[in-house]
């Protein structure tokens, strides 16, 4: 049985390519530590699949679809890479997923946010694992509107992710009786947010929504603090804020900000145990992306082992047929559109007085059940969904 399984694993090797921003705007939320999370999963799995060795290659995507496309094309056409992991900038993930579909290889996207990745840009060759803009809007935006923030002004990163998040937020705000009264799009990435924050202040909106991520978000929040935006009565809504962002800002600056997350290191004994091991390896607490990379890699390797094959469609079906129950998600499942659905969480950044340590930063306000968090298949534009 094992011999037969080995024969179906190409070149007797399972080869994984890790692609992420290793040096730029999104370095901290995934980056080199995402590669470490992937390597932890391989080690915990045992280093081999049905006797076949596991190899890893990695590259800096430089947040460039062109750079990423050429890298992944080389990986799959010349280096026999079976699965591409990581992927952060949504424009990168959309470009790479097309190449994976052309070559019938598998991609597991853990860092990107655009909900279009499993909507109009879905393919039978990729899975979107950790989160997307739909639950970010459903969680944070709906909570802020219900608390009285009816008039919104959007500050949006000018590429696929920002556009998707702004669109999803607009739908949620309007569905809850609010209105987006204005928006401005900023280049990606941006260092100086002064003019954008001034426009937001002048709008008179109740809420300034930040449809950006990474250092763009922390730069915008810092500038808003310097300009006294919240002191003047406006609410700042960070639609995508990572633990590393909050840690960089500090509880003094970030306190009270509400956010939606797919995972938090201090939720229970299981999350804490894995996070303690991760911190020993890296010196930092993991983001939801780091945890998702570990979980998705383990799920992939378990599925290769169960299927006895590294064929993309065989493994994807095995992954879809197997519920995900680990430190990242309980009863998670991968739908036909490639969306991994699991519970999400509405969190609030603690005050300095509430925070007991550097990384003790969130209090979980409520769980958003999986079926409520993600876009229903009935609204999907994905070509894989037969309605």
Tens of pLDDT, residue by residue over 56-108, are 999 999 999 999 999 999 999 999 999 999 999 999 999 999 999 999 999 99
Asked whether residue 385 is assigned to any structural domain, the reply reads: no
Question: What is the reported pLDDT for 387?
Answer: 52
Residue 6: pLDDT over 50? no
**What is the residue-averaged pLDDT of the chain?**
95
Residue 1: pLDDT over 50? no
Q: pTM for this structure?
A: 0.94
Query: Cα separations (Å) of 383 from 83, 123, 142, 277, 377?
Result: 22, 8, 29, 40, 11
Residue 302 sits in the same domain as residue 367: no
Which CATH number do you get for residue 361?
Answer: 3.40.50.2300
Alpha helices by DSSP H, listed for the chain, are: 2-7, 31-45, 65-78, 90-103, 133-136, 142-146, 160-175, 194-202, 215-226, 243-249, 251-254, 269-282, 288-307, 312-321, 370-373
Number of independent structural domains in the chain: 2
Asked whether residue 293 is assigned to any structural domain, the reply reads: yes
pLDDT band at 231 (very low <50, low <70, confident <90, very high): confident
Its domain, for residue 37, covers 2-131+268-342
Asked whether residue 381 is assigned to any structural domain, the reply reads: no
pLDDT (average), residues 119-145: 95
């Amino acid at each position: 049985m094992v011999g037969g399984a080995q024969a179906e694993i190409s070149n007797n090797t399972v080869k994984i390519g890790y692609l992420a921003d290793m040096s730029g705007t999104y370095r901290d939320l995934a980056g080199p530590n995402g590669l470490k999370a992937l390597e932890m999963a391989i080690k915990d799995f045992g280093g081999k699949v049905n006797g076949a060795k596991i190899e890893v290659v990695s590259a800096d995507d430089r947040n460039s679809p062109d750079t990423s496309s050429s890298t992944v094309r080389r990986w799959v056409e010349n280096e026999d890479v079976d699965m591409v992991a990581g992927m952060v900038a949504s424009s990168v993930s959309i470009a790479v997923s097309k190449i994976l579909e052309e070559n019938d290889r598998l991609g597991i996207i853990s860092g990107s946010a655009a909900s279009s990745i499993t909507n109009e840009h879905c393919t039978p060759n990729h899975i979107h694992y950790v989160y997307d803009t739909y639950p970010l809007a459903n969680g944070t935006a709906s909570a802020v509107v219900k608390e009285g923030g009816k008039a919104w002004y959007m500050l949006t990163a000018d590429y696929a992710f920002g556009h998707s998040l702004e669109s999803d937020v607009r739908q949620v705000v309007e569905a809850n009786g609010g209105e987006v009264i204005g928006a401005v799009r900023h280049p990606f990435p941006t260092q100086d947010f002064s003019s954008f924050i001034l426009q937001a202040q002048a709008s008179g909106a109740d809420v300034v929504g930040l449809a950006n991520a990474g250092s763009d978000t922390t730069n915008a929040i810092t500038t808003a603090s310097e300009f006294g935006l919240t002191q003047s009565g406006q609410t700042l809504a960070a639609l995508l804020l990572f633990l590393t962002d909050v840690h960089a800002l500090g509880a003094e600056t970030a306190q009270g900000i509400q956010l939606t997350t797919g995972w938090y290191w201090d939720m229970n004994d299981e999350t804490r145990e894995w996070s303690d091991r991760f911190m020993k390896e890296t010196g930092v607490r993991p983001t939801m992306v780091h945890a998702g990379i570990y979980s998705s890699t383990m799920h992939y390797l378990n599925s290769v082992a169960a299927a006895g094959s590294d064929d993309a469609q065989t493994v994807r079906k095995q992954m879809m047929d197997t519920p995900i129950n680990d430190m990242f998600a309980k009863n998670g499942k991968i739908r036909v559109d490639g969306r991994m659905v699991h519970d999400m969480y509405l969190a609030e950044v603690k005050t300095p007085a509430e925070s007991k340590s550097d990384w003790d930063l969130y209090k979980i306000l409520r769980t958003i059940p999986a079926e409520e968090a993600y876009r229903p298949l009935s609204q999907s534009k994905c070509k894989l969904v037969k309605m």
